[in-house]
Amino acid sequence: MTPLPNTALYAQRRARLASQLGEGGIAIVPTAKESARNRDSDFLYRHDSYFYYLTGFTEPGACLVLAADGTSTLFCQPKDLEREIWDGYRLGPEAAIAALGVDAAHSSATLESQLPRLLENRSRVWFPFATHEGLAARVEGWLGKVRARVRFGALCPAEQGDLCTLLDEMRLVKDAYEQDVMRRAAAISAQAHIRAMQCSARMLRAGEDVREYHLDAELLHEFRRQGSQAVAYNSIVAAGANACVLHYRADAAPVRAGELVLIDAGCELDGYASDITRTFPADGRFTGPQRALYDLVLASQEAAVAATRAGARFNDPHDATVAVLSQGLLDLGLLDGNKVGTVQDVIEKRAYFQFYMHRTGHWLGMDVHDCGSYVEPTEIGQTSQRRDPLSGEAITNRPSRILHPGMVLTIEPGLYVRPAPGVPEAFHHIGIRIEDDAIVTDGGCELITRGVPVRADEIEALMRG
């Protein structure tokens, strides 16, 4: 049984949301469905993040209904001693009121019959758009039943609103409780990365056959050993040239001395994700070209970290990264200045895109790519047009988000060098990414994932141990 949540915390969140629903508003927030993996076997269940944010409840088959006056009604699985023998403990409606701090609780079996009555005489119904397959159709069905009662004086909601627009803004700034959980998740993940690094060097020194799945196993072991419930996303363990595949998954490729290993992995703890990437020499020692590229990526990350602070824009860390990488690519000869021009030309023409094709960060929270707009809502109407120099596509620019204390984002520059004409052979098949999780503060940012070393000398020293 999962420990019951801090009811006051979730009650405060529900009250804050209720105050935004408008007079006569009502919100419907279902949790995630169970998903079949194969015959008679489900994937490991994971609750819906919006639902969990408002309830702290992790059982499947549940739904929260919240009215603008703050009244909360939970629908959950009924107690069933026979099913509990097979599937485990259920809280049940009778215990849910005290345990979760909701005002009313009913069996989920009564949801279809009770929802239309709850929707009667409401002006607007809110629910998360495009996140639960079939939910919009179910809402239409419930509204149809309300309309069938208009002869009896029932009023049907005339408006529908996307609940994500309200909850995304709430979830974007993490409170003290959330920040604490994320620090603990980051600490666990950092130890897992250390374990994988040391395992790689130790096995290679012993002359053993090392595979990507060996390192993946070390990550999983440490995640669960320290109490995290699951991975936050499928771990990337990419040896050698596989590191140039951005979404590569841990497989059976050999880990060889003299090559790099890129690990992008993080655990989920109590509903919150961590997200760390480290790139290290499989046997514990960087070669010259590897070190040159690694130090360049690290320098670009340091520039991005320096640009991450309250009052800055979300795009500022990316722009700082691109400036450093572009100059470094010219300095190292991966880009020919006679062909691409100055560093400003490299930036404006996006010539760096051959080696760096993703953004420098994303929001992090309950989801590894967490919710929240990347556009500043107070300036959304300020637009300009530009044409992408690579694709020729017309792009509408809007001011990027202003950072505030408590926002959490990743900072993850990288370089991925595939063989190509004009690219020095010494750099072929080298993929490097360095990623840390940052909590925005007034004076800068707090890197919560630095429990695992990031400087090349520190990584080599760790792997000698």
The residues that are catalytic are 40, 247, 264, 275, 358, 362, 369, 412, 416, 433, 435
Is the CB of residue 334 less than 8 Å from the CB of residue 340? Answer: no
Q: Label the pairing between strands 394-397 and 384-387.
A: antiparallel
* Residue 173, CA distances (Å) to 193, 359, 403, 404 in order: 27, 21, 10, 8
Residue with tokens 């079949």: 36
- Residue in the block written with tokens 């090349």: 456
State the Cα–Cα distance between residues 355 and 429, nearest whole angstrom. 11
Q: What are phi and psi of 272, to 5 degrees?
A: -120, 140
Task: Please state the φ and ψ torsions of residue 130, each to the nearest 5 degrees.
Answer: 55, 30
The neighbouring-strand residues paired with 402 are 313
**Going by C-beta distance under 8 Å and a sequence separation of 6 or more, which residues neighbour residue 367?**
49, 273
Distance (Å, whole) CA 257 – CA 418:
20
The dihedral formed by the CA atoms of 149, 152, 157 and 163, expressed in degrees to the nearest 10 = -70
Six token digits for residue 179 = 């920040």
How is residue 351 written in tokens?
């010539």
Q: What share of residues in the chain are helix, strand, coil (percent, to 5)?
A: 40, 20, 40
75 in Cβ contact with 107 (< 8 Å)? yes
Angstrom distance (rounded) from CA 285 to CA 453: 14
Contacts of 161 (CB under 8 A, 6+ apart): 25, 124, 125, 126
Contact 276, 251 (CB under 8 A): no
Residues paired with residue 396 on neighbouring β-strands, in sequence order: 385
Angle at which helices 212-225 and 176-205 cross, to 10°: 140
Q: Are 42 and 34 in contact (CB under 8 A)?
A: yes
